[in-house]
């Protein structure tokens, strides 16, 4: 397994503000660190079903032929390039909402789970992302499951960090559109560079 490259790419992906981070930061700002912790827990748990489905599907495909294994890896490379190009040319702004009426931990976790559970792009993402970091098709399910769990641990840590530093995170991300635009373009170029490296 190419663990070091996986860690770097995963951190880049997780650090990019998405719906989960927006939810966690918003709760951190409006209701404190404890609620942000529960939000991070829920968002991380919502990843698990997508992870399981993608690993089972890709494992079944790879058992058919080694050429299928290579095909899935190259599909992943193309998907990384697609993500990178999309980030470079993205003109969207990060929007945070500070109005949440969450009170119970169970309600916060449930909403966090649903935020990621109802995002079908995550299954496609893991389906194309994980095979790139497994060096061969033997024991693919075990290796990709370990990488997937590592991704979830990183997600939880980063989300908690965002939630605990909610005020600073929001100020840093929102006060300077140019800064956010530069960051997106930088990450996009990094994605494309990793894709080329993996393809070669």
Question: Which pLDDT tens digits describe the chain residue by residue (200 residues)?
Answer: 667 888 888 888 888 777 788 788 778 877 778 888 999 999 999 999 989 988 888 877 767 666 766 776 777 678 778 877 876 787 655 555 555 555 688 888 888 898 888 776 777 778 878 887 876 667 778 888 899 999 999 999 999 998 888 766 666 666 666 766 776 677 678 768 767 776 76
Whole-number Å distance between alpha carbons of 170 and 96: 8
| DSSP 8-class letter at 104 | S
Task: Give the per-residue pLDDT at 41.
Answer: 94
Task: Give the per-residue pLDDT at 152.
Answer: 93
Whole-number Å distance between alpha carbons of 136 and 132: 10
Residue given tokens 């931990």 in the structure block: 105
Task: Give the per-residue pLDDT at 33.
Answer: 82
Secondary structure of residue 60 in the 3-state scheme: helix
* 34: its two tokens: 């404890």
Regarding pTM above 0.85, the answer is no
* 36: its two tokens: 């942000």
Task: Give the per-residue pLDDT at 175.
Answer: 64
Task: Give the per-residue pLDDT at 172.
Answer: 67
Show Cβ contacts of residue 29 under 8 Å, excluding neighbours closer than 6 positions: 96, 98, 166, 167, 170
């Amino acid at each position: 397994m190419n663990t070091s490259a996986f860690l770097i790419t995963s951190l880049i992906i997780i650090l990019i503000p998405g719906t989960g981070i927006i939810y966690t930061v918003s709760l951190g700002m409006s209701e404190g660190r404890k609620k942000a912790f529960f939000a991070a827990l829920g968002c991380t748990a919502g990843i698990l079903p997508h992870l399981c489905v993608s690993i089972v599907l890709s494992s079944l495909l790879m058992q058919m032929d080694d050429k299928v294994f290579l095909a899935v890896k190259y599909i992943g490379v193309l998907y990384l390039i697609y993500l990178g190009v999309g980030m470079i040319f993205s003109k969207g702004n990060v929007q945070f909402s500070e109005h949440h009426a969450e009170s119970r931990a169970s309600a916060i976790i449930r909403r966090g789970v649903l935020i990621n559970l109802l995002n079908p792009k995550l299954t496609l993402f893991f389906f194309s992302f994980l095979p790139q970091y497994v060096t061969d098709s033997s024991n693919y399910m075990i290796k990709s499951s370990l990488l997937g769990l590592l991704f979830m641990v990183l997600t939880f840590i980063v989300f908690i960090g965002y939630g605990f530093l909610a005020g600073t995170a929001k100020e840093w991300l929102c006060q300077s559109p140019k800064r956010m635009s530069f960051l997106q373009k930088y990450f996009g170029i990094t994605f494309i560079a990793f894709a080329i490296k993996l393809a070669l």
